[in-house]
Amino acid sequence: MSLLKIENLEVCFPGPDGLLKVVDGVSFEIAEGEVFGIVGESGSGKTLTALSVLKLVPYPGRIASGQISFKGEDILSMSEESLRNIRGSKISMVFQEPAASFDPVFTVGSQLVEAIRIHRPQANARRARDIALEYLEKTHIQDPERVFGEYPHRLSGGMKQRIMIAMALVNSPDLIILDEPTTALDVTIQAQVLDLLCEIREAEKLSMLFISHDFGVIKKMCGRVAVMNKGKIVETGATSRIIDSPKEAYTISLIESVKALS
């Protein structure tokens, strides 16, 4: 059985002449333990597809039609309370811009502890702190005790992204959605974060939905990939096959753009 299954998803926003489909008939599945990629340029609908999985499409957008099932359960018919139990627990998300993902007035440690205690009410403050420090260590953060007590503005972008990955992992989710997690980082830190994600994938046996505009990143991370353009999936298949023998002109242009920059 698929871990996540999306069928004929449509996301719409109001426009001057009626509703605009920004995600148009998207369908794909992710198996347990699989890293599935979505690749496409900015504005192709990648992020809105990912946000739809957790019913986080920003207003005034809305999911107009389609089905999203997670472990056989219908996400779109769930109550808000049921969704809160899944968000950050069964399905976690790492966003593109780490600086915007933290509350600036609280330490990163307090935010990690909050994420743990929301989904593990049996864990007292001390136990939650121990879990937070454990995952800071797993993401190769030096001196986790010090970092635990820091405020976000005192940390580098790469450090914040590692902490966001730790926060996504602390409740042992079944699926992590990664929305361009290295885009805001410089090339050296980007490579380190990708290596970390590969290590975590092997150690935790996680399923991942990995979103990127960069075929180089997709090649490193994903076994299968869907190529999106103008809200539609234009090609899906094994990453190696699509890179070696793309069928669609848009896919070819994306791959050529990576080669031109290398």
Token pair for 210: 């990995």
Task: Give the phi and the psi of residue 45 in degrees, each rounded to 5.
Answer: 105, 5
Q: What angle do CA 7, 12, 16 make, to 5 degrees?
A: 155
Burial of 251 (0-12, 13-18, 19+ CB in 10 A): buried
Question: What's the pLDDT at 188?
Answer: 87
Question: What's the pLDDT at 152?
Answer: 95
Tell me, yes or no, whether 241 and 226 share the same domain: yes
Question: What's the pLDDT at 174?
Answer: 95
Tell me, yes or no, whether 74 and 196 share the same domain: yes
Q: Cα separation of 200 and 39, whole Å?
A: 21
CB 9 within 8 A of CB 27: yes
Tell me, yes or no, whether 17 and 71 share the same domain: yes
Domain finish residue from 172, 188, 219: 172
Domain total for the chain?
A: 2
Question: What's the pLDDT at 259?
Answer: 67
Question: What's the pLDDT at 96?
Answer: 83
Q: What angle do CA 37, 73, 123 make, to 5 degrees?
A: 85
Tell me, yes or no, whether 143 and 78 share the same domain: no
Tell me, yes or no, whether 60 and 111 share the same domain: no
Burial of 30 (0-12, 13-18, 19+ CB in 10 A): buried
Domain CATH number, residue 41: 3.40.50.300
Q: Which residues contact 17 (CB under 8 A, 6 or more apart)?
A: none
Q: Cα separation of 4 and 32, whole Å?
A: 8
Tell me, yes or no, whether 192 and 78 share the same domain: yes
Domain finish residue from 155, 172, 189: 172
pLDDT digits (tens, 9 = 90+) for 174-200: 999 999 998 878 888 889 999 999 999
Tell me, yes or no, whether 216 and 258 share the same domain: yes
Q: Which domain holds residue 56?
A: 1-90+176-262
Tell me, yes or no, whether 192 and 82 share the same domain: yes
Tell me, yes or no, whether 78 and 186 share the same domain: yes
Tell me, yes or no, whether 104 and 150 share the same domain: yes
Q: Which residues of the chain have pLDDT under 50?
A: none
Domain finish residue from 152, 172, 192: 172
Tell me, yes or no, whether 1 and 85 share the same domain: yes
Tell me, yes or no, whether 104 and 80 share the same domain: no
Question: What's the pLDDT at 33?
Answer: 93
